[in-house]
Amino acid sequence: MNAPRIGTLDWQAAVDHPELLAEPVAATIAQRDIECFVAPIDPELADTAAFCQAYEVPLQVSANCVVVAGRRGDAVTMAACLVLATDRADINKVVRKHLDVRKISFADMEVAVSTTGMEYGGITPLGLPADWPVLVDDRVAAQPWIVIGSGIRGSKILCTGATAAQLPAARSLALAL
């Protein structure tokens, strides 16, 4: 499959460029034979708004992965939420209820980085710890193509919305506000 023209980036088969991926992301793509593409970017432009503007990627194609930590008593549940850059995840209602936790918040940056093996600002649903739920907004799952992080700030991944929604720990639901 050839990569579509999304923005001004030169998309290449991700499996052929593990140097552009965090180790857990590269391992997941190779092990699961995930068909996706990767393109190098300026790490200073990894944040969504700057990235979309610099590389002419529409916000409605870009998807953000946020890591949350839910608590019920002493038990902590880590999870990832994937929503389009035009939307916000309903963390306090939908995600909290789905994870069956009493309290929920964005995960501490150091914890997110150390447990995922990915860089802050580049965390992606590909390659997350196997016991983490991956909550994919229905609008993301329905997109023919999405741009997501690669585990590092120096590149982005292009894949189908269905790819994210079909990850082993993924659950597609109405997540956006």
* Rounded Cα gap, residues 85 and 108, in angstroms: 21
**Model's pTM, two decimal places?**
0.96
Residue 37 included in any domain: yes
Compute CA 26 distance to the chain's CA centroid, rounded to the nearest angstrom.
Answer: 14
Residue 2 included in any domain: no
Residue for token pair 């593409």: 37
Residue 1 included in any domain: no
Residue 4 included in any domain: no
CB neighbour class for 13 (10 Å; exposed up to 12, middle 13-18, buried from 19): middle
Q: What is the pLDDT of residue 105?
A: 96
Q: What is the pLDDT of residue 177?
A: 85
Q: Per residue of the chain (177 residues), give pLDDT as tens.
A: 788 999 999 999 999 999 999 999 999 999 999 999 999 999 999 999 999 999 999 999 999 999 999 999 999 999 999 999 999 999 999 999 999 999 999 999 999 999 999 999 999 999 999 999 999 999 999 999 999 999 999 999 999 999 999 999 999 999 998
Q: CB count, 10 Å around CB of 19?
A: 11
Which residues does residue 62 pair with via DSSP β-bridges, in sequence order?
A: 147
* Rounded Cα gap, residues 66 and 91, in angstroms: 10
Q: For the chain, what is the domain count?
A: 1
Looking at the chain, the number of H-run helices and the number of E-run strands are 6, 9
Residue 123 included in any domain: yes
Residue 41 included in any domain: yes
In sequence order, what are the residues at sequence separation of 6 or more whose Cβ sits closer than 8 angstroms to the Cβ of residue 131?
169
φ, ψ (nearest 5 deg) of residue 159? -150, 175
3-state DSSP assignment of residue 79:
strand
Q: Print the domain residue range for 28.
A: 12-173
Tokens of 46: 């990894």
Residue 132 included in any domain: yes
CATH of the domain at 59: 3.90.960.10
Residue 49 included in any domain: yes
3-state DSSP assignment of residue 107:
coil
